[in-house]
Structure 1
Amino acid sequence: MSTENPRLRRARKSRAKMAELHVTRLTVYRSNSNIYAQIIDGNNNKVIATASTTEAEVKKTLKNTSNKDAAIAIGKRIAEKAVKAGVKEIAFDRSGYKYHGRIKALADSARENGLTF
């Protein structure tokens, strides 16, 4: 039996497919206290834009950094940064997390603010 983290094992399949297709992806990581998002270029694996609840500007506007409201704010922020950088079409890398709760809120917010996936 492997001691590997099951979430990372699940994430590997979708990441392998995204790498094969060379698509730009929106990667999400959530901890118990924060949520992070990155737009990563599919061709040369460079980070184009980042947003997280640890940023000072974001922290000031949020009452709590670990709920759906925080995820919505980060989704909006990452979408605005991506569109500003010229990225509109992406693949959503949920990093092995279930598509519900904070992950779904972030994805829906990013879609509403200009990203297509």
Structure 2
Amino acid sequence: MLYLFHYHAYSKWIVLFPLIRGKTTICARFLYVIILVARPRAITKYLKPYVLKMHFTNKFVNVQVIHTPTATVTASASSQEKVLRECMETTRDVAAAAKIGKILAECLLINNIPAVTVHLKREQRYHGKVKAVIDSVREGGVKLI
């Protein structure tokens, strides 16, 4: 018996359909075998290893750069730090986000990281605090990929 391999592009399953007289048949008497395909490692993990992630709460702004192949935090800045809280008026607005971005850019250049990739969550848009952080990191001399 011949089998037709069907690979669904948006999922990770391959389904083997039995062929009878050149046609695909769906019948209860045939056993369909479903094989889970192991996906290859993401190449982007190695092409863009440093990822900028941002987290905003009602009180604070937290930004960190993660080295994805090793899953370690290479640089971070937050408005929760005592030294920064004393010199900022508020720790949660757009101006605080811009200052945090400048501090992060300095940390990245000290650690010899010239470029990062920005990772936005689904609900984050390039507006407000997100825009302030990204623009201040870019002005600090770090390239955004």
Do residues 66 (structure 1) and 87 (structure 2) align? no
Match of 2:105 in 1: 79
Measure how far apart 1:50 and its partner are: 0.8
- Normalised by the size of structure 1, how large is the TM-score? 0.80
Match of 1:51 in 2: 77
Q: Which has the higher contact order (CA 8 A, sep 6+)?
A: 1
Match of 1:103 in 2: 130
Aligned partner (choices 31, 52, 55) of residue 29 of structure 1 = 55
Unmatched tracts of structure 1, length 5 or more:
1-15
SS in 2 for 1:74: helix
What percent of counterpart residues are identical? Answer: 28
SS in 1 for 2:143: coil
8 Å contact kept, 1:37–1:74 = yes
Higher strand share: 2
Between Structure 1 and Structure 2, how many residues are aligned?
A: 102
Aligned partner (choices 52, 65, 77) of residue 39 of structure 1 = 65
Which portions of structure 1, spanning 4 or more consecutive aligned residues, are displaced by more than 6 angstroms? Answer: none
Higher helix share: 1
